[in-house]
């Protein structure tokens, strides 16, 4: 038991919640888990990424993404305004640093849903971040999910599967692994890790 000398008050633990980073291979269901979680707990703040890709129908600036030009993205990177950034399918994506720090300082739970490359960058710049790896129940299930969409040509699927093998091999770099056997269960486990429930 900790003893506090008379007339003093114990130091409060660091009141700022830790940043939680959710990552894992393409097709594992990260977006589905996060959408389910935020439906039940909208108070969990999900960082909005900046991207150089053009908006898709129905996407709103500042809600789904911050849509920026290549020149604007260059400036964000050069000025250190992104916690992490990566290039994917010819477009760049990044997490604005200031918004994340503001939310954490305000005592809010913050979640980033990003790829492996981004998770590694966050670990370098914010060592206290809690990295959570979302794993498929099996390799066969991940293959089924990646090929079951039926929207991509075989060579794209092959590239995704090759990338997934590399991403799965990075699991030991993470603090915690959650296996996505049930969206509801994983969302509940993630909330518990974030001290939201």
Q: Are 61 and 50 in contact (CB under 8 A)?
A: no
pTM (2 decimals)?
A: 0.82
In this prediction, residue 155 carries a pLDDT of 86
As a whole number of angstroms, the distance between CA 15 and CA 114 comes to 25
Long-range CB contacts (within 8 A, 24+) of 170-174: 170/116, 170/133, 171/133, 171/135, 173/119, 173/120, 173/123, 173/131, 173/133, 174/23, 174/119, 174/131, 174/132, 174/133
pLDDT band at 42 (very low <50, low <70, confident <90, very high): confident
For residues 56-79, average pLDDT? 93
For residue range 118-168, what is the model confidence (pLDDT) as tens digits? Answer: 999 999 989 899 999 999 999 999 988 888 766 678 888 888 889 899 999
């Amino acid at each position: 038991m900790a003893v506090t000398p008379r007339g003093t008050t114990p130091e409060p633990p660091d009141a700022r919640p830790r940043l939680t980073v959710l990552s894992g291979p393409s097709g594992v269901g990260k977006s589905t888990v996060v959408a389910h979680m935020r439906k039940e707990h909208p108070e969990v703040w999900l960082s909005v990424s900046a991207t150089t890709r053009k908006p898709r129908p129905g996407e709103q600036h500042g809600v789904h993404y911050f849509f920026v030009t290549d020149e604007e993205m260059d400036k964000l990177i050069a000025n250190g305004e992104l916690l992490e950034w990566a290039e994917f399918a010819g477009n760049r994506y990044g997490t604005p640093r200031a918004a994340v720090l503001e939310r954490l300082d305000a005592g809010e739970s913050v979640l980033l849903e990003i790829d492996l490359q981004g998770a590694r960058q966050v670990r370098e710049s914010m060592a206290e971040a809690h990295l959570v790896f979302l794993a498929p129940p099996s390799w066969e299930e991940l293959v089924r999910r990646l090929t079951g969409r039926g929207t991509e040509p075989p060579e794209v699927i092959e590239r995704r599967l090759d990338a997934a093998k590399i991403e799965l091999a990075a699991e030991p770099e993470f603090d915690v692994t959650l296996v996505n056997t049930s969206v509801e269960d994983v969302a509940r486990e993630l909330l518990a890790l974030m001290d939201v429930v």
